[in-house]
Each structure stands twice: as structure tokens, then as C-alpha cells.
Amino acid sequence: MSYAELYRQAQTDPQAFWAERAREIDWFRFPETILDQDANGAWRWYRGGVLNTCYLALDRHVAAGRGDDVALIYDSPATGQVQRFTFANLLEQVARTAGALKGLGVEKGDRVIIYMPMVPEAVIAMLACARIGAVHSVVFGGFAPPELATRIDDAEPKVLLTASCGIEFDRVIAYKPLVDAGVRQAKHKVSHVVVLQRAQCDAELRPGEHDWSQWLEAASPTDYVPVEATDPLYILYTSGTTGKPKGVVRDNGGHAVALNWSMQAIYGVDAGDVFWAASDVGWVVGHSYIAYGPLIRGCTSILYEGKPVRTPDAGAFWRVIAEHRVKSFFVAPTAYRAVKKEDPDCLLQAKYDISCLKYQFVAGERLDPPTYDWLVAHLPGVPVIDHWWQTETGWPICTNLAGVELLEPRTGSTNVPIPGYDLRILDEEGRELPPGTEGAVVIKGPLPPGSFPTLWRDHARFEEAYWSRYPGFYLTGDGGYRDADGYVFIMGRIDDVINVAGHRLSTGEMEEVVAAHPAVAECAVFGAEDADKGQVPLALVVLKDGANIEAGALQAELVQMVREQIGAIANFKRALVVKRLPKTRSGKILRQILRKMVDGKSYSMPSTIDDPAILDEIAGVLGVASGLRVG
Ligand code: COA
Ligand code: AMP
């Protein structure tokens, strides 16, 4: 069937379309209703359906005789290991871990925080939670203790699972001191901490804390628990416009249906194929396409603990693709930019036979044309597919559907909307914009299965942040346009979220940290373009009267504060002192103008600005031509 026909079917009769996709997974009870609205008015898929996500990912493949097939390959240049887990192996370990969690009193609906590096136990823990209906919340290992504490307070977990360390190139990062600080800073008291001791670092355990291997030894395997389609599978926190992250909730039913279908329709893989998403389990890509999607579909998934470069060289990606016969590969453009920088002519690729690679997917940030051209040049015959999605949706919104029909690619576009997403481009007043005109990218409700039905214990924020700006339409937070043939071009965020090396971060949150410095009167943080990371944060800071600190020293202190409060992944390295920030006469900082200046773009001066001269001063500090035009 053609893409156009499939899209039309999903638009014309969504219930029939998604009922058909639902039949492609195994239910203990098929849903009574395909789509309806809950008491809050939120759309819910597959009410009345009963299933278990861990059963779909493991038990059913074993039952179907695929127990000896490889489910997960742990490839870790960081530790020099490659380890293969069959579906039967993985099931055994997951069932035992689930039993161990039950032993700590974890029951259906209880939360478990997983703060771990890229080790198999992280995926095992996720599946173990799913097995017993517990709700996991994975916290990316690069986040600092206050971020962990915020998540502990919001999710209120019974148990926190962690490891003694993570490995960043040749640096060993001890996790236990970070966990201790996070747990101490949180108001909610976690009942149990379990630590996986790794060979690279031994964590000191306090009384009452558990050693992972002893904890498992004492446990017995436990069976899966049937859950409702609408029961939560996990909470994943993501950056919003304020310091408080949003707890995106994923349900079990819609998630399993959408991911199962996406593996074949979008990524062009099926049971037995090898799929690799080089991300981290702490991000949505890791949830959907390292852990759940490939396993539900019966593919082999790769868990890669390493970087694209220096592990041992910039040929690491080619080595993994060749060694494990990867068919479909998904990574953020920033990772390929790192490879391109070290091996511009892609000479290291020649050492490997990557003829197995059929599709190259990229997402997570804008795919810049030079990186796209480089990939096309060095992957002859392999379609390079840019696809766009968000933590909130849980799976892609736009793509080229490798398993349906590959359309002619169009440089700069994220391809076309996936069946089930009714995408529109709106102006300020909510009018639909014609092709070629940039506006807010929104999706008409309902969102398809797999997308979030709410924010954890904050439905009011869900409504306010996503559905109130254009009632009936989901606000993606991205700006962009569509061309006359329906290809979608995503141009960047229109809110205070920035994308640094494929990591989503809140400038509002960084402002809260910077503003807490005793010498800072006020500040504004923006994403400045960066050749390697896509964007990096840049702070403009106004000092308090009488503050006696040298600009370099202030910058060093602010950098340290952001590392300690948010984490090194913020890549916060620059803070510039200015005399004032441009404001409207009513005192609002003109962030949009500053954003354009930081990007080196021209801007027009609104008539409401209180002091036009300040813009020239800031332009001087930024080292950009002021480009001032009176608007
Ligand atoms: N634990 C602890 N620290 C971490 C970390 C982790 N899991 N991940 C990154 N960091 C640290 C880095 O060590 C670095 O610290 P430093 O400032 O002390 O040197 C800092 O955070 C910045 O990291 P990053 O910007 O990620 O650079 P990098 O060189 O470590 O890695 C990439 C570069 C491209 C490999 C990495 O950014 C990447 O994989 N990005 C893609 C993210 C992604 O998958 N997004 C999902 C959409 S596909
Ligand atoms: P996250 O929720 O971390 O997955 O980040 C989602 C955000 O990343 C989106 O809102 C976009 O701003 C950006 N993004 C993801 N994929 C793409 C893409 N292919 N092109 C441009 N931006 C993207």
C-alpha cells in the first residue's frame, strides 16, 4: 500500500486503522473501546484492553520457540566487553529482578527510579518493572543530584536502582556520591537503594542499602502481571520552560501497539533483524528504540556503552554495524558530526563491511545540510532518513516510512507526517498557514496511540502547556513549515527549550541557577549555534550594583554552578556580562530579540522597547553586527 493511501486510511477512520494495528500484538483481553476520552477529557486508547509489556517483549517470543535467538547485544568499548543475551536469558534475568523488586515491597503502580549507565541491568530493570506493573522512571546518568532529587520528589519512588559508576571515555564517574546527594536533597524518602557494583569502581554501601548481585541471589523469578492498556508503564521527565521538569506518562497499550508497528513501517525491520539506536536509556529514544520497540517486535537490539569517537577511534560506529550486522541504525546528527570532525574523509569505514546496513535514521535535533551531505556521500545506496519526534509523542511524528514506501527525500525536511498525526502549521491567531510559510507546528487531537495522555500528577499543566494555546491542537513547541508537497521542515523550538548535542534542556532552568549567584541581578540564557553540538547555552548577565567580581571569575563560578545543579551535559561554558537587558516599557525582557542577536540574525526593534541603545551594547558584547532596524 502506498504512503498516501495509508495516511488517508488513518485520517478517515482512525479507530479502524488503530484497531487493525492493535491486532498485531498479543492481548490477554482485546480492548472494548479503541478510542475515547477520560473524565479529564483526555484521549485514551484501548480502554478495557489487558496486556503486559514485558510479556510482549520477552515471554511471547520464548513461547513461540525463539528463546535461543539473540534479543540484546551489550557492546561496551568502555569496558572492553561484548555480551549477548538470548530472549530466554533475558527473560530469566528480568523475571528474577522482578521477583527481587517484589521482595522489596514493590507492587503494581509503585514507582522505581533507575539512575544507571548503559549496562544491560538498566534494560533488565525497566522490563522487570513492566513485568510487575510497577512504573519506572529512568533518570539520565549525566544529570546532577538536584535533578535527581526533583524527580524523586515528583515520582515518589519506593526503590532507586543504580550502579557504582558510569564511564565517560577514560573517566570513571562514581554514581553513588551523586545518588547519596540526590536522595539527601529530596523530601521524599526512598525506601531502598540497590547498587550494581561494577569492576571499575566499588561503591560504599550504607546499612540498609543493597548490593545488586546479593539482592538477586536471594530472589526467585516472578511471573508477569496483567495490566490495563491505560495503566502507566513509565514516567520520563523532560525539560519544559521552567525549572520543574515535566513527567511525561506513557501507558502500556498504545505504546506497545505504536512501537510494534513502527519497527516495521518506519524502520523497515522485523523479527530477527538487528536494530541499533545509539542513544541512552535515559532518553526517550533509549526507552522506545533500545528497550521496548525492538524487543516487542522480536528484533535484536544493541545497547552500546561508548561514544562515536575515541572508542577506540572514530570508526566505532562502522565497527558495531559490521560486527553485529545492523540493518537499521538510528543516531543523533551530533554524533556523526563528531565522527566527521575526526575522520572527515570517512577513511576508517573501509576497514569494515557495512553492506548489512539498509537504513540510516537521524533525529533529536536539526540535521544540518553539511552533515546530511556527508552521510549521503559516505553511505551510498543507504537512504539517510531525517525524522522528527519528541519525548511527549514517544515515537516519530514525521519520517520517511522505510517499511511502507520510501518517498524521494527532500534536503532539510523531516519528511512527511506519519499516519495518525494530523499536522498543521498555524499563525499567532490560529489560522492555518499556506505552504512555505513558517509558523507553530501543531497536531490536531487526538494524538495517535503511544503519545502521552497526561503529565504525572499534573493534568492541569498538561492542558495548560500543550492544549490551551490552540484549543483542540497539541502544541509541539517547534516552529516550521510545510512545502507544497506536504514535506515538513522543522526549524527549531519556539519556546525556552534548547537542544544541545541532542540533549533537550531548558534555558529557564539554567536562568534559575545563574540568577541564584549572589553577584547576579538578572540574566537571560539562550541557545547559540554551535558547529559540533548544534546549540550551546549562552548567558547574558547583569551584575548587582556594587558587585565586585571579575567577568572571567564570574563565568567560572557560573559554569561550576550549572554543572553541579543540572549536569555537565548542559555544556554551559559562556556567561557574558552586559550593563542591561533590553526590556519592554512594562519591564519584560525581550527574549525573542536577544535570541535573534545570539544567532547573529538581524532583528527589528519593537516600538515598546525602553532603551534602544542597550541593544547596540549587547551586540558589541556578543561580537555581532547590531543589525538594528526600527520596526
Ligand atoms: N554521565 C555523566 N556525564 C556525562 C554523560 C553521562 N551519561 N553524558 C555526557 N556526560 C558529560 C560528558 O562527559 C561531558 O563532560 P565534560 O564537560 O566534563 O567533558 C559533558 O557531559 C558534555 O557531554 P556531551 O555534550 O554529550 O559530549 P560528549 O563528547 O560526551 O558526547 C555525543 C558527544 C555526540 C556522543 C553525545 O552528545 C551524544 O550521544 N548525543 C546524542 C544524544 C541522544 O542520543 N539524543 C537522543 C536523540 S537521538
Ligand atoms: P526530545 O523530547 O528530547 O526527544 O526532544 C524533542 C525536540 O528535539 C523536538 O521538539 C525538536 O525541537 C528536536 N528534534 C527532534 N528531532 C528533530 C529533527 N529530526 N529535526 C529537528 N529537530 C528535532
Do 185 and 280 sit in the same domain of this protein? yes
Instruction: For residue 585, give the 3-state DSSP assignment.
Output: coil
Please say if the pLDDT value at position 597 is more than 90. Answer: no
**Each residue's pLDDT tens digit, 183-195:** 999 999 999 999 9
What sign does the dihedral 8-9-13-19 (CA atoms) show? negative
Categorize the per-residue pLDDT at 629 as very low, low, confident or very high, splitting at 50, 70 and 90.
very low
Categorize the per-residue pLDDT at 626 as very low, low, confident or very high, splitting at 50, 70 and 90.
low
d(CA 584, CA 557): 30
Distance 288 CA to ligand 2 centre (A): 15
Distance 284 CA to ligand 2 centre (A): 11
Residue where one domain finishes, among candidates 405, 420, 435: 420
> Do residues 148 and 175 lie in contact, with contact meaning Cβ atoms separated by under 8 Å?
no
d(CA 246, CA 230): 19
Distance 258 CA to ligand 1 centre (A): 29
> Do residues 489 and 498 lie in contact, with contact meaning Cβ atoms separated by under 8 Å?
no
**Each residue's pLDDT tens digit, 30-54:** 999 999 999 989 999 999 999 999 9
Categorize the per-residue pLDDT at 591 as very low, low, confident or very high, splitting at 50, 70 and 90.
confident
Q: Which ligand sits nearest to residue 245's alpha carbon?
A: 2
Q: Please report whether residue 430 resides in a domain.
A: no
Please say if the pLDDT value at position 601 is more than 80. Answer: no
Taking CA atoms only, the protein residue closest to ligand 2 atom 21 is 366
**289-312 average pLDDT score:** 97
Q: Please report whether residue 363 resides in a domain.
A: no
What is the reported pLDDT for 208? 84
The CATH number of whichever domain residue 537 belongs to comes to: 3.30.300.30
CA-334 nearest atom, ligand 1:
34
Q: Which ligand sits nearest to residue 497's alpha carbon?
A: 2
Q: Which ligand sits nearest to residue 387's alpha carbon?
A: 2
567 lines ligand 2 (CB under 6 A): no
What is the reported pLDDT for 606? 59
Overall number of domains in the chain: 2
pTM over 0.75: yes
**65-77 average pLDDT score:** 98
Do 396 and 285 sit in the same domain of this protein? yes
> Do residues 22 and 30 lie in contact, with contact meaning Cβ atoms separated by under 8 Å?
yes
Taking CA atoms only, the protein residue closest to ligand 1 atom 23 is 569
Q: To test ligand 2's pocket by mutation, which of 289, 366, 418 has the most ligand atoms within 8 angstroms of CB?
A: 366
Q: Please report whether residue 264 resides in a domain.
A: yes
Distance 365 CA to ligand 2 centre (A): 5
Q: Please report whether residue 158 resides in a domain.
A: yes
Categorize the per-residue pLDDT at 608 as very low, low, confident or very high, splitting at 50, 70 and 90.
low
Residues 6+ apart with CB under 8 A from 350: none
Ligand 1 site: residues with CB under 6 angstroms? 141-142, 166, 168, 173, 279-280, 283, 285, 307-308, 332, 334-335, 338, 363-364, 501-503, 533, 568-569, 571
496 or 44: which leads in pLDDT: 44
Nearest CA among 309, 388, 399, 307 for reference residue 348: 309
Distance 498 CA to ligand 2 centre (A): 9
d(CA 597, CA 369): 22
Q: Which ligand sits nearest to residue 286's alpha carbon?
A: 1
386 lines ligand 2 (CB under 6 A): yes
Task: Compute how many other C-beta atoms are within 10 angstroms of the C-beta atom of residue 26.
Answer: 17
Percent of the chain's residues with pLDDT above 70? 97
Do 268 and 394 sit in the same domain of this protein? yes
Do 135 and 284 sit in the same domain of this protein? yes
What sign does the dihedral 90-96-97-101 (CA atoms) show? positive
Q: Please report whether residue 439 resides in a domain.
A: no
> Do residues 201 and 171 lie in contact, with contact meaning Cβ atoms separated by under 8 Å?
no
What is the reported pLDDT for 481? 97
Task: Compute how many other C-beta atoms are within 10 angstroms of the C-beta atom of residue 187.
Answer: 8
Q: Please report whether residue 134 resides in a domain.
A: yes
What is the reported pLDDT for 599? 74
Do 226 and 121 sit in the same domain of this protein? yes
Q: Please report whether residue 611 resides in a domain.
A: yes
Please say if the pLDDT value at position 624 is more than 80. Answer: no
Please say if the pLDDT value at position 240 is more than 70. Answer: yes
Q: Please report whether residue 240 resides in a domain.
A: yes
Please say if the pLDDT value at position 631 is more than 90. Answer: no
Q: To test ligand 1's pocket by mutation, which of 198, 200, 334 has the most ligand atoms within 8 angstroms of CB?
A: 334
Q: Which ligand sits nearest to residue 311's alpha carbon?
A: 1
What sign does the dihedral 482-487-491-497 (CA atoms) show? positive
What is the reported pLDDT for 412? 93
Q: Which ligand sits nearest to residue 248's alpha carbon?
A: 2
Residue where one domain finishes, among candidates 369, 400, 420: 420
Residue where one domain finishes, among candidates 396, 420, 444: 420
Categorize the per-residue pLDDT at 153 as very low, low, confident or very high, splitting at 50, 70 and 90.
very high
Please say if the pLDDT value at position 496 is more than 90. Answer: no
Please say if the pLDDT value at position 447 is more than 50. Answer: yes
Distance 477 CA to ligand 2 centre (A): 10
Distance 491 CA to ligand 2 centre (A): 10
Distance 569 CA to ligand 1 centre (A): 6
Do 391 and 524 sit in the same domain of this protein? no
Q: Which cell numbers hold the place of 135?
A: 512504573
Do 393 and 527 sit in the same domain of this protein? no
Distance 550 CA to ligand 2 centre (A): 37
Phi, psi of 185 (to 5 degrees): -75, -25
Do 414 and 534 sit in the same domain of this protein? no
Categorize the per-residue pLDDT at 602 as very low, low, confident or very high, splitting at 50, 70 and 90.
low
What is the reported pLDDT for 150? 96
Categorize the per-residue pLDDT at 630 as very low, low, confident or very high, splitting at 50, 70 and 90.
very low
Q: To test ligand 2's pocket by mutation, which of 143, 365, 411, 443 has the most ligand atoms within 8 angstroms of CB?
A: 365
**Each residue's pLDDT tens digit, 349-372:** 999 999 999 999 999 999 999 999
Do 290 and 155 sit in the same domain of this protein? yes
**Each residue's pLDDT tens digit, 96-137:** 999 999 999 999 999 999 999 999 999 999 999 999 999 999
Distance 280 CA to ligand 1 centre (A): 10
**Each residue's pLDDT tens digit, 246-293:** 999 999 999 999 999 999 999 999 999 999 999 999 999 999 999 999
Compute the residue count for the chain.
631
391 lines ligand 2 (CB under 6 A): yes
d(CA 446, CA 60): 30
What is the reported pLDDT for 385? 98
Taking CA atoms only, the protein residue closest to ligand 1 atom 47 is 364
Do 414 and 532 sit in the same domain of this protein? no
388 lines ligand 2 (CB under 6 A): yes
DSSP 517-534: STTEEEEEEEEEEETTTE
User: Residue 152 sits in which domain range?
Assistant: 54-306+387-420
d(CA 97, CA 130): 11
Please say if the pLDDT value at position 607 is more than 60. Answer: no
Q: Which cell numbers hold the place of 174?
A: 562514581
Do 415 and 555 sit in the same domain of this protein? no
What is the reported pLDDT for 603? 62
Do 544 and 411 sit in the same domain of this protein? no
